């Protein structure tokens, strides 16, 4: 036999030498839930090990994140009250705005990305303004743009619209530029599917739609070319980073998106992916460490440059241990 693939698998140093995919902590982004109130650090029942923090407790969470070597976070807000218009999304003293002030003061070296959407802020739980039972695309754009601007004014380093309205990237880019935030990047949740994997998040953020579902704005998971259409539109509108979400069931999309754009690609391993691994690990049916490493590397192998995951801190530890890297 002349060709023996096993030769390159015979030694740990060699296996690492010829590795095709490298993972490092700098590519990890950790999602954090911030909730109105004080003294709150409550575990999310469907996401064991993840918490909702009030602004005064947020520094404890950020300290741990920083210590783990993760340097970027994605902030999600849970407001004190919700209304039809989602007005707490852009309120100057809104939850994200206050969280950013505190976070930037206490840990200025972390990088802060904010999720821009209305579903956590509207009483009806939809991602935009309603007109009857419909989500009104164009009326929503103004509110999203206002929200993104208020995040940046409060200190956000990057904004990430996740609402899936048409034209939102352009609307956000325009308002940021008008206010001289020309250097603030936009990470677009461009390829976002209407997915059952978001269920634990909606518990965490109390953001499930009160009626109907999100299929009139999030994508149908039967479609792949439609995802490419979204990528190309968002690139034209001024997106700086393209996100694919969820990650694990959409590795094909990560690989395709990488081929059609030169923008960096981020993959979001969402709440349901986290919850499935946690639950199976608790039962002793899988090895949590192994599965977390394997699923993370899969996203990078498919073509992602950045990875949003609730396991970011653990992954940083696994990288330190040399389990992956």
How many angstroms separate the most distant Cα atoms in the chain?
71
Secondary structure (3-state) at 49: strand
Check binding of 135 to ligand PBG (CB under 6 A): no
Residue 190 contacts ligand PBG per CB under 6 A: no
Minimum distance from CB of 270 to ligand PBG (Å)?
3
Piece of 4-12, 113-121, 222-230, 289-297 that binds ligand PBG (CB under 6 A): 113-121
Interacting span for ligand PBG (CB under 6 A) from 7-15, 56-64, 114-122, 284-292: 114-122
- The nearest distance, CB 27 to ligand PBG, in angstroms, is 18
- Contact of 239 with 190, CB cutoff 8 Å: yes
What does the alpha-carbon distance between residue 14 and residue 129 come to, in Å, rounded to a whole number? 56
- E strands in 45-144: 47-54, 72-78, 111-116, 130-131, 134-135
Is there binding between residue 127 and ligand PBG (CB under 6 A)? yes
Binds ligand PBG (CB under 6 A): choice among 33, 121, 201, 318: 201
Interaction between residue 115 and ligand PBG (CB under 6 A): yes
Q: What is the DSSP letter of 86?
A: -
Residue with tokens 């499935």: 276
117 binds ligand PBG (CB under 6 A): yes
Structure tokens that stand for 130 in this block: 């309603």
Enumerate residues 6+ apart whose C-beta is below 8 A from 257. 190, 191, 227, 228, 231, 242, 244, 265, 303
**Shortest Å distance, C-beta 118 to ligand PBG:** 8
CA 313 to chain centre: 15
Choices 34-42, 131-139, 195-203, 222-230; region in contact with ligand PBG by CB under 6 A = 195-203
Active site residue 170: no
User: Which sequence positions are flagged as catalytic?
Assistant: 192, 245
| Interface contacts to ligand PBG, rule CB under 6 A | 115, 117, 119, 127, 162, 198, 201-202, 214, 270-271
């Amino acid at each position: 036999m002349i060709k023996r693939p096993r030769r390159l698998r015979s030694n740990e140093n060699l296996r690492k030498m010829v590795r095709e995919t490298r993972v490092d902590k700098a590519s990890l982004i950790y999602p954090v839930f911030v909730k109105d109130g004080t003294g709150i650090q409550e575990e999310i029942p469907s996401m064991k090990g993840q918490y909702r923090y009030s602004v005064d407790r947020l520094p404890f969470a950020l300290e741990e994140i920083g210590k783990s070597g993760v340097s970027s976070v994605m902030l999600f807000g849970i407001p004190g009250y919700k209304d039809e218009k989602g007005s707490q999304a852009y309120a100057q003293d809104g939850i994200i705005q206050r969280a950013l002030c505190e976070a930037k003061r206490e840990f200025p070296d972390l990088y802060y990305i904010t999720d821009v959407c209305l579903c956590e802020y509207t009483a009806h739980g939809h991602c935009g303004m309603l007109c009857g039972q419909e989500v009104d695309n164009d009326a929503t754009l103004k509110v999203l743009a206002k929200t993104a601007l208020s995040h940046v004014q409060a200190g956000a380093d990057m904004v990430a619209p996740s609402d899936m309205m048409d034209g939102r990237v352009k609307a956000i880019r325009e308002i940021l530029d008008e206010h001289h935030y020309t250097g603030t990047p936009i990470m677009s949740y461009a390829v976002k599917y209407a997915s059952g994997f978001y269920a634990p998040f909606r518990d965490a953020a109390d953001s499930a739609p009160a009626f109907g579902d999100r299929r009139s704005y999030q994508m149908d998971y039967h479609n792949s070319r439609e995802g490419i259409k979204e990528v190309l539109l968002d690139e034209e509108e001024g997106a700086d980073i393209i996100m694919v979400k969820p990650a694990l069931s959409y590795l094909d999309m990560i690989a395709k998106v990488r081929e059609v754009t030169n923008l960096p690609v981020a993959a979001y391993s969402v709440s349901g992916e986290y919850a499935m691994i946690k639950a199976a690990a608790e039962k002793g049916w899988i090895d949590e460490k192994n599965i977390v490493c394997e699923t993370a590397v899969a996203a990078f192998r498919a073509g992602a440059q950045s990875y949003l995951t609730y396991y970011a801190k653990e992954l940083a530890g696994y990288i330190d241990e040399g389990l992956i890297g």
